[in-house]
Amino acid sequence: MSTNSSITLFGIPNCDTVKKARTWMEQQNIPFAFHNFKKDGLTPEQIELWLQEIDLTLLINRKGTTWRALSEEQKSSAEDKDGAIELMLTNPSVIKRPVLQINSDTRKHVSVGFNDQQYQIIFKEV
């Protein structure tokens, strides 16, 4: 891994998938910062950065309890980019977790969700 890399894992500490990702990275001795987006917040710029790398449909968790609790009006606001960003800022639990962001001098990478094989591939490339 490049010496000029930064790895940030965004999520919520009590989310099982986030816990699995954090444990995997710790077991692989991969240094990373954890950003609790409920406690530490998010900015529109941060979400815009993610959307440069991943599709909006991948970033919103439409299967979770937070999504199901939204009104139809809130759900329909997520159909366009600006409305979706506003929804994610006001309801960060609607964001699929974890969001992995890697910035290095050679590449930028953003991915959503976690599974062992996916992370093995990602970190082989970094």
What pTM did the predictor assign?
Answer: 0.91
> Residues with Cβ < 8 Å from 117, sequence gap 6 or more?
none
**Domain extent listing, the chain:** 6-125
- Both tokens of 37, joined, read 């987006």
The CA distance from 60 to 30, in Å, is 26
Q: What is the DSSP string of 32-67?
A: -EEEETTTT---HHHHHHHHHHS-HHHHB-TTSHHH
Which pLDDT score is estimated for 106?
Answer: 75
Question: Could you read off the pLDDT tens digit of each residue along the chain, which spans 126 residues?
Answer: 445 679 999 999 999 999 999 999 999 999 999 999 989 999 999 999 999 999 999 999 999 999 999 999 999 999 999 999 999 999 999 999 999 999 987 778 999 999 999 999 998 865
To the query of whether residue 15 is one of the catalytic residues in this protein, the response is yes
Span 6-125: which CATH code?
3.40.30.10
- Catalytic one among 12, 15, 58, 122? 15
